[in-house]
């Protein structure tokens, strides 16, 4: 497993948390940009992104990177806040996307076999079976 983040603070905290638990996995954390990842093509069986889509400057580039680094049989799962009326209380919800906006960005991307699930507070983008 490899965690990717642009924030040195987040990476430091992730490494600290990892040292505090016992686990059977090989885990590392790397500094990098989701729009231009430092990984080779066809590397991962699974790509997961949680609550970062609304922070990405160019989501289409992130979707393209996910497609590039996934193995041909790889899967992905992206989850993020969903824009709603609750945005009047939270800047993160105001900055998030509607399901319609996400679908339009996905159509412009190279990411294949996707489906969007729409929930009240969040949305998920996952591999279409």
pLDDT digits (tens, 9 = 90+) for 106-127: 999 999 999 999 988 889 999 9
Task: With respect to residue 92, please indicate whether it lies within any of the assigned structural domains.
Answer: yes
Expressed as residue numbers, the domain containing 99 is 33-127
Give Rg (Cα) of the chain: 15
Task: With respect to residue 14, please indicate whether it lies within any of the assigned structural domains.
Answer: no
Whether the predicted model's global pTM rises above the 0.85 cut: yes
Task: With respect to residue 19, please indicate whether it lies within any of the assigned structural domains.
Answer: no
Tell me the pLDDT of the chain (129 aa) as tens digits.
999 999 999 999 999 999 888 877 899 999 999 999 999 999 999 999 999 999 999 999 999 999 999 999 999 999 998 876 554 555 566 678 899 999 999 999 999 999 999 988 889 999 998
How many structural domains are present in the chain? 1
Contacts of 78 (CB under 8 A, 6+ apart): 48, 49, 50, 53, 66, 124, 125, 126
Residue 38, burial from CB neighbour count under 10 angstroms (0-12, 13-18, 19+): exposed
């Amino acid at each position: 497993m490899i965690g990717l983040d642009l924030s040195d603070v987040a990476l430091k905290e992730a490494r600290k948390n990892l040292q505090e638990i016992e686990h059977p996995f090989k885990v590392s954390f790397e500094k990098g940009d989701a729009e231009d990842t430092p990984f080779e093509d066809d590397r991962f069986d699974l790509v997961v992104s949680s609550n970062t889509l609304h922070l990405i400057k160019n989501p289409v580039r992130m979707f393209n990177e996910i497609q590039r680094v996934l193995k041909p049989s790889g899967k992905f799962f992206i989850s993020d806040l969903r824009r709603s009326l609750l945005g009047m209380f939270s800047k993160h919800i105001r900055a998030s996307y509607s399901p319609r906006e996400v679908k339009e960005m996905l159509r412009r991307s190279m990411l294949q076999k996707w489906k969007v699930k729409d929930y009240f507070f969040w949305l998920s983008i996952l591999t279409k079976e």
